[in-house]
Every structure is written in C-alpha cells, then in structure tokens.
C-alpha cells in the first residue's frame, strides 16, 4: 500500500564515526549537533559578517535562544550538523540544517563562516545533507535562496536541483531525490 511517509526514520548516525575533511591543511569534523554545541554555534554566528547572516536568515539574525537550539537538535523536527576543527568542538565553522517541512519534504540551509567560505566546504556539506535525506523520509529537498546567492545556487545546481521557474529576490529551489532511499548516512 502506498502510504505517505509518517515521521522521521530513526537516524543511524553515531557520535563515534564522524566524516573528516581536510581543508587547506586543517582537519574538520562534521557530526550531528548536540545541545553542548550551542555556545560554539553562537560564537560562530558572532564571527559571521552581516552579509553572510543576511544570506542565511533573510533578515536580522534571529535570537539563537535555547528554544532554537532545542529545535535544531530535536530529532522530530530535523537534523543539524556542526562542522568544527578536529579536536576543538567549540571551534564551529559551519552549520547544516535539514529540517522537515511536510511529509516527503525537507529544507536544507547551510551556513559556513566567512573565513571558511569559497574553499569547497559548502558543496561537501550539501552532499552530507542529501545523504541524510532518506533518514527524514524526504523525496524532495527544498532551499530558499537569494537570487543573488551565486555560491548556494551553484551548489544546488551541481546537486541536481531544478531550475527555479520563478523569478524574484528569493528563489524557492527544489531538488527531487531520484536515488532509492538508503539508511546510509555519511556521518555513521
Ligand atoms: C553559500 C555557502 C553555504 C557556500 O559554501 P562555501 O563553502 O562558501 O561554497 P563552496 O566553496 O563549496 O563553493 C560553492 C560553489 O560556489 C562556487 N564559488 C566559489 N566561490 C565563488 C564566488 N566568489 N562567486 C561565485 N561562486 C563561487 C564554487 O565554484 C562552487 O561551485 P560548484 O558547487 O558548482 O563547484 C556559504 O558561502 C555561506 O554560508 N554563505 C552565507 C550563508 C548562505 O548563503 N547560506 C545559504 C542559504 S540556505
């Protein structure tokens, strides 16, 4: 029977196996966020330029309250990955959100702090997010992106996103997932 997917699948990500990346000689670890990462994430936002925050949040930075942190880490709502310097979990350099929208659909949003932008990290994080989509039972990934955000649009296009049919300041980009669902996630 063809039932709509209900609720997230259990996520098979462990805290033991984290993908490692070497970016310009620095090792980075990407793993699911926990509430212990809240301060590192707040610090990372403070290092970001107003332009970077505008591109991510489309306005003033929302207050990164404890409630927001709980939402980021709530497995009923989605999954958030933090990327930090290896061995320095407080030194967060990027955050990846994959949050449920409606059944079968999840929204991806990336934030790479300014000093780490343009070095290929965003493209890798998008691949991690896509690999996690089956754990959210998502068949479509969406992203809201400023039409001027060449980097994010390039990442989405490379990942197979549809050409947005609309025009305007902010584009809603759709990325249908064609591969058969698998529980394999890059983080574990
Ligand atoms: C958008 C963002 C996540 C991209 O991450 P990044 O690590 O800087 O990007 P990458 O180095 O992986 O490059 C991404 C793409 O942009 C291209 N690119 C790199 N520098 C660029 C530049 N100055 N101008 C245009 N394109 C550029 C790369 O060639 C790459 O293209 P490809 O995926 O087709 O190879 C990051 O810049 C960021 O956090 N920006 C602010 C917040 C934001 O815009 N979030 C997205 C809203 S959901």
pLDDT value of residue 41: 98
Tell me, using a 6 A CB cutoff, whether residue 74 lines ligand 1: no
pLDDT digits (tens, 9 = 90+) for 22-61: 888 899 999 999 999 999 999 999 999 999 999 999 987 7
Rounded to two decimals, the pTM is 0.88
> What are the start-end ranges of the E strands in the chain?
20-23, 26-32, 78-85, 88-102, 105-112, 140-146, 170-176
- Cβ–ligand 1 distance for 158 under 6 Å, the answer yes
Average pLDDT over residues 9-15: 42
Residues 116-133 have pLDDT tens digits of 999 999 999 999 999 999
| Per-domain residue ranges of the chain | 15-176
Sign of CA dihedral 145, 121, 20, 70: negative
- Structural class in CATH, domain 15-176: alpha beta
SS3 annotation, 129-152: HHHHHHHHCCCEEEEEEECCCHHH
Confirm or reject: Cβ of 112 under 6 Å from ligand 1: yes
Structure tokens of 89? 């979990």
Question: 67-117 pLDDT, tens per residue?
Answer: 999 999 999 999 999 999 999 999 999 999 999 999 999 999 999 999 999
């Amino acid at each position: 029977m063809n039932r709509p997917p209900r609720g997230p699948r259990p996520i098979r990500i462990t805290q033991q196996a984290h993908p490692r990346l070497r970016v310009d000689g620095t090792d980075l670890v990407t793993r699911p966020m926990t509430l212990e990462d809240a301060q590192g994430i707040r610090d990372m936002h403070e290092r970001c330029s107003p332009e970077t925050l505008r591109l991510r949040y489309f306005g003033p930075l929302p207050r990164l309250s404890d409630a927001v942190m709980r939402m980021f880490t709530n497995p009923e709502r989605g999954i958030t990955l933090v990327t930090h310097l290896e061995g320095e979990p407080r030194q967060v350099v990027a955050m990846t959100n994959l949050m449920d929208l409606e059944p079968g659909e999840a929204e991806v949003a990336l934030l790479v702090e300014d000093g780490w932008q343009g070095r290929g990290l965003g493209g890798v994080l998008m691949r991690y997010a896509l690999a996690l989509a089956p754990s959210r039972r998502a068949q479509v990934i969406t992203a809201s992106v400023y039409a001027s955000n060449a980097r994010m649009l390039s990442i989405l296009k490379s990942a197979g996103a549809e050409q947005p049919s609309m025009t305007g300041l902010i584009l809603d980009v759709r990325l249908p997932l064609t591969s058969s669902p698998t529980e394999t996630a890059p983080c574990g």
